[in-house]
Structure 1
Amino acid sequence: MALVIYSLYGFAIFFFAGWLFVWLMHLMAIFNGKMKLHKKTQALNPEIPLPGVSIIKPLVGIDPNLSSNLESFFTMKYSLFELLFCVHDEKDPSIKIVMALIEKYPHIDAKLFINNVKVGVNPKINNMQPGYEAAKYDLILISDSGIKMREDTLLDMVLTMKEDVALVHQMPFTCDKKGFPSTLEKVYFGTAHARIYLSADFVGINCPTGMSALMRKKLLDDVGGIRAFGQYLAEDFFFAKSFTDRGWKIKISSQPAWQNCELHDIESFQNRIARWAKLRFAMVPWTILFEPVSECLALGVLAAWSLNFLFQVDPFAVYLFHMLSWFLLDYVLLCIVQNGSLPFTKTDFVIAWLFRETFAYVLFSRALLYPEIKWRTGTYRLKWGGTAEEIKTKL
């Protein structure tokens, strides 16, 4: 009997400590977001030349916003850069858009590569390999097709690349769009995702994104170039790990990555989030245990029980306090990341927030029960450690 009591005390203390730690994450994310995001670009010394940047754009298919997204790279205010568009299939419809933009902006150094080089299982690495080999500058920016750039975004990223920094990445966020799926997407990236991203950056944990990352090419070449990461689907995580293992730092820029893909339905958004969960579970297996209980609804129950067990506090009062505080801090964080008025009402936020928090457990279950990943045109099986193998479709 005594063993049971001691065990309950141990669990109660553990969950109470975990609850306090998550509140600390909330506060670190809000503080870090307020300190780092949306800062004005520093004044430049005209006597110090800016380094050249090779921008690699892997393309597969088209999106209604693809043309405007790609055009935003042609209109950036930066003195020295090249655009390297990479397409794996000569019939890809994005080729027409790229060629039209190259013709519209003849003064921009831009090239198109059509190749199906296979250096690993990762289709994005295979796609980018020709552009990477042709890159002529010391800094490489890998940027997904759905990213929209502002005129000073590249300058902001380059200025963040200090002498001891190997990788500068942008925190994922979204452009303002209409419809509930887009509202849900913005709420997710501005609350749950931003909280983990900003708090991890605050304490120096490797939590990068590959959708918009500026890197030192020499450091990649030293380990074999991007082809050395072709065995991983989450190549961004292993890019960063390669740098930090050698003592280099990674930083976030002050401007978020403005994702601007058309989102037609909730299912597409959920599939994307579930795919990321599968990658995390394979790369960092302990997250299988800790992620579900760190979510708002489950953690509130555990905190209410632990506080009642340890201090005889009313569990219903604890749970209501927990939910309301979490909700308000998420709203504050979203406003910081948005840096302006939200493109939806407070009622829309409440509905999207509740939907995200409730269905998080559905996505966790889906990631565990169906670990295979369907990405682009292939299906992949993940192995512990993050490596992957392509599953051949039976005829």
Structure 2
Amino acid sequence: MATAIEAITILLTLAGLAYLLLALWGARDFGHYWMRRPKTEGFAPDVSILKPVKGVDPRMYAGLVSHCRQQYAGNFEIIFGVGSMDDPAVAEIRRLQAEFPDRAIRLVECRERLGTSGKVSNLVQMLREARYEHVLINDSDIYVSLLYLTRVMACFADASVGMVTAPYIGRTAESASGRTLWARLEALGISTDFLPGVLTARKLEHGIRFGLGSTLAMSKTALAKAGGLEPLTEYLADDYEMGERIAAAGYRVELCNEVVETTVPAYNFRGFCDHQLRWARSTRDSRKLGYVGLGITYALPWALMTCVASGFALWSFSLLSVVVLARVAVALSVGVGILRDEQVLRDLWLLPLRDFFGLYFWAWSFADDTVVWRGERFHLRNGRITRA
């Protein structure tokens, strides 16, 4: 039995090491693609930015301001959608309108509840108000650079592109009280675990067929051919579904090299677990076959288990050293090289803990179908959510 366990952990470690090498290959390919890609920043179609809001998130107002300060050659408008005019976010939007009177900023009250997902329900109603052919959807706390719209919308110069999405980093609070261990693990996972997986999928599948909620830019034409937003009102991973359906409609989904920021709350342990399990179970239902294989990607935990299973044999430490080198190389090449996330250097020592938690949440995600989203509990089956 001991020999069998040792053999299994060795195989899993080697598989994880192979994945890390693939992730490095995917990161290199992504960087080279954007260095070789022809410059098309002169293309600036008019665009409607749709931002569904509920409550006031940390750094939300700073993110809204960053959208208003865009240096963009085309016309753009920002449409906010709320479920009720009593929502606390309304005051922040009124403040934004007063600060930027020259910007086209509108607030839409979305009175209909079209499905379980209040976010998508609001988006359906907001889309009806959008003036322009191109729309861009992102969350309320997304913070962007001055050239965000210029770089994202320039991708549509290629007529085969139906959706543009963007990588992101999770920004922890600057204060010590907001920079909890769990918030730091969340941010570290986004930059060194989540995006390497995206880049590996992009390389192996010759492009991506899903969207990332940090940025979902598309034309109304492509969205209509993909079936529109209405069928997504029961889905948890609406960003994934939008991208997959637009790709299935014959369009290309482009992963832009423009990096945006989202805010990581000051999670306690329970909040961290709830969010990680929601993320894991959402991915499980969206990419069923690929998700089963996700467990082998945690090479560092498997390498440490190999050391234990081998009785701490000398060769197992050699294997562990190679895995550590590859894991750190992925973290630095993606987290620092592509995302330019300086938090990765600060928290690099937390990688083993982050990867053990990642493996734990992967295994635990198969045990149940319950997810917690904005304080509400839902059952998740085949991507659709119903109230628990």
- Class of the TM-score when normalised by the shorter of the 2 chains: 0.7 to 0.9
- Read off the aligned partner of 2:15 and give its amino acid letter: G
Q: Name 2:387's counterpart in structure 1.
A: 390
Shift of 1:131: 1.0
Q: Give the whole-Å Cα distance in 1 for the aligned partners of 2:353 and 2:9.
A: 28
- Read off the aligned partner of 1:194 and give its amino acid letter: L
Secondary structure class of the residue paired with 2:122: helix
Preserved contact between residue 67 and residue 97 of structure 1 (Cα < 8 Å): yes
Shift of 1:284: 2.9
Preserved contact between residue 122 and residue 230 of structure 1 (Cα < 8 Å): yes
Shift of 1:245: 1.3
Secondary structure class of the residue paired with 2:288: coil
Q: Name 1:89's counterpart in structure 2.
A: 84
Deviations 1:4-51 (A, max 9, x none): x9x99x979975873464133222233145336799995755xx6x21
Q: Name 2:275's counterpart in structure 1.
A: 272
Q: Name 1:326's counterpart in structure 2.
A: 327
Q: Give the whole-Å Cα distance in 2 for the aligned partners of 1:248 and 1:302.
A: 44
Residue 221 (structure 1) aligned with residue 224 (structure 2) = yes
Specify which of 367, 370, 378 is matched with residue 369 of structure 1: 367
In structure 1, the gaps of 5 or more residues are none
Residue 230 (structure 1) aligned with residue 233 (structure 2) = yes
Q: Give the whole-Å Cα distance in 2 for the aligned partners of 1:318 and 1:244.
A: 40
Q: Give the whole-Å Cα distance in 2 for the aligned partners of 1:73 and 1:169.
A: 16
Q: Give the whole-Å Cα distance in 2 for the aligned partners of 1:98 and 1:32.
A: 40
Preserved contact between residue 133 and residue 220 of structure 2 (Cα < 8 Å): yes
Identical positions, percent: 19
Q: Give the whole-Å Cα distance in 2 for the aligned partners of 1:339 and 1:288.
A: 27
Q: Which residues of 2 match residues 203-352 of structure 1 at below 5 A?
A: 203-287=206-290, 289-300=292-303, 314-339=315-340, 342-343=342-343, 346=346, 348-350=347-349, 352=350
CA 173–343 in structure 1, closer or farther in 2 if over 3 Å, else same: closer
Q: Give the whole-Å Cα distance in 2 for the aligned partners of 1:80 and 1:96.
A: 25
Q: Give the whole-Å Cα distance in 1 for the aligned partners of 2:345 and 2:17.
A: 31
Preserved contact between residue 82 and residue 109 of structure 2 (Cα < 8 Å): yes
Q: Which residues of 2 match residues 49-198 of structure 1 at below 5 A?
A: 50-78=44-72, 79-161=74-156, 162-175=158-171, 177-178=173-174, 179=179, 180-198=181-199
Q: Give the whole-Å Cα distance in 2 for the aligned partners of 1:261 and 1:64.
A: 8
CA 302–29 in structure 1, closer or farther in 2 if over 3 Å, else same: farther
Q: CA RMSD in A?
A: 3.2
Q: Give the whole-Å Cα distance in 2 for the aligned partners of 1:70 and 1:90.
A: 18
Q: Name 1:35's counterpart in structure 2.
A: 32
- Read off the aligned partner of 1:278 and give its amino acid letter: R
Shift of 1:192: 0.7
CA 20–296 in structure 1, closer or farther in 2 if over 3 Å, else same: closer
* TM-score after normalising by structure 1: 0.83
Aligned residues: 374
Larger Rg: 1
Secondary structure class of the residue paired with 1:102: helix
In structure 2, the gaps of 5 or more residues are none
Secondary structure class of the residue paired with 2:57: coil
Q: Give the whole-Å Cα distance in 2 for the aligned partners of 1:80 and 1:39.
A: 28
Secondary structure class of the residue paired with 2:19: helix
Q: Give the whole-Å Cα distance in 2 for the aligned partners of 1:43 and 1:219.
A: 20
* TM-score after normalising by structure 2: 0.85
Secondary structure class of the residue paired with 2:365: helix
